[in-house]
Amino acid sequence: MKDLWNLFVTFCRIGGFTFGGGYAMLPMLQKEVVEKRQWATEDEVLDYFAIGQCTPGIIFVNTATFIGYKQKGIPGAIAATVGSIFPSVCIVMFIAAVLNNFAELAVVQHAFAGIRVVVSVLIINAVKGLWKKSVVDKLCVVIAAASFLVSVWVDISPVWIVIAAAILGIAVSSGREAKKS
């Protein structure tokens, strides 16, 4: 029961920083799950995050579910998932109840402008961390560049881009292994 509570509280704390979504949460997720609690390795978190992007739903919630399941099976998945959405539900309910009365105040508008700037920095840091771990050779640079260009210029689901990149990575790696043999 204590382990389930720890999953809930940990993901609840991370979920409290809902501004910016999953990408903005990645640095905190890595610090809590990888460094502090050692529930997963950096590579596992990156894999969970990649899978979380491809599956329906919110990236952070999907990632929390995967980590919770790894730790304590279905009860762990439920505890982590509920913990990850609990702060968002509370914040949305509070904002819906209060914001209409204060949305026009300059201080509220400035606060949200400041939050947007911080979220942008968090996202840039997350991308930088993902880049360092994922782009390790020339092939990865080519796949990353091609994926970026396709996502910008072609109206295609990101799922297909991820699948194509995975197939390309597997094919090239298999070809390299065959040459070594």
Is 72 in a helix, a strand, or coil?
helix
Tens of pLDDT, residue by residue over 110-169, are: 888 888 888 888 888 878 887 888 888 888 888 889 999 999 999 988 889 989 988 988
pLDDT score recorded for residue 22: 63
Report the pLDDT value the prediction gives residue 38, as an integer from 0 to 100. Answer: 92
Mean pLDDT of 48-57: 79
Closest among 67, 72, 59, 61 to 38, alpha carbons compared? 67
- Higher pLDDT residue, 26 or 110? 110
pLDDT given for residue 31 in this prediction = 86
The residue among 23 and 85 whose pLDDT is bigger is 85
Question: Two tokens at 92?
Answer: 């949305």
pLDDT of residue 19: 62
Distance CA 6, CA 37 (A): 10
| Cβ neighbours, 10 Å, residue 139 | 14
Report pLDDT for 5.
95
Q: What is the pTM (predicted TM-score) of this model? A: 0.60
CB 167 within 8 A of CB 147: no
pLDDT of amino acid 77? 94
**For residue 172, is it left (φ>0), alpha (ψ between -120 and 50) or beta?**
alpha
Rg, the chain, Cα only: 19
Any residues with CB less than 8 A from the CB of 5 and at least 6 apart, and which? 79
Q: Which of 55-59, 67-71, 94-98, 166-170 has the highest mean pLDDT?
A: 67-71
Q: Check whether 85 has a pLDDT greater than 70.
A: yes
pLDDT band at residue 18, thresholds of 50, 70 and 90? low
pLDDT of residue 88: 83
Higher pLDDT, 69 or 24: 69
